[in-house]
Amino acid sequence: MKQVFFHIEVEDCLWDEVDKVDDQMVAQLETQSIEYISGLFGRPVSTHDRRSSDGALICSFTTNNLDGVRATIRNNLLTEGNDQIVSGAEYVIVRDFQLVS
């Protein structure tokens, strides 16, 4: 089994476009994204900590099918040329996929 790490980031524009943003709203968006990503990859997602530089939520899942993971990322890209994919929640992005053996 290989472990795939990634980050869930709530976009800064949320604070500009939504009148009242609180920790509960952010947590709800992150939870919605975790559920979506779990379904997208067909694997349970674990949360670990927050990235110190920007507060992004560090997550991971395990897999034996790296080709399937790469295909899922490729098929769900938001922009060509990076690994930023859809999150299932407005104002949230999922990115920075890294394999740890």
* Tally of domains in the chain: 1
pTM score over 0.85: yes
Produce one character per residue of 56-81: b if its CB has 16 or more CB atoms within 10 Å, e if not: bbebbbebeeeeebeebbeebeeeee
| Residues pairing with 12 in the sheet | none
- Residues ≥6 apart with Cβ < 8 Å to 13: 91
Given the structure tokens 């349970």, which residue do they identify?
44
Profile the chain (101 residues) by mean pLDDT over runs of 10 residues.
94 75 87 96 96 92 94 86 83 90 69
Range of the domain at 6: 2-100
Q: Provide the CATH number for the domain around residue 45.
A: 3.30.70
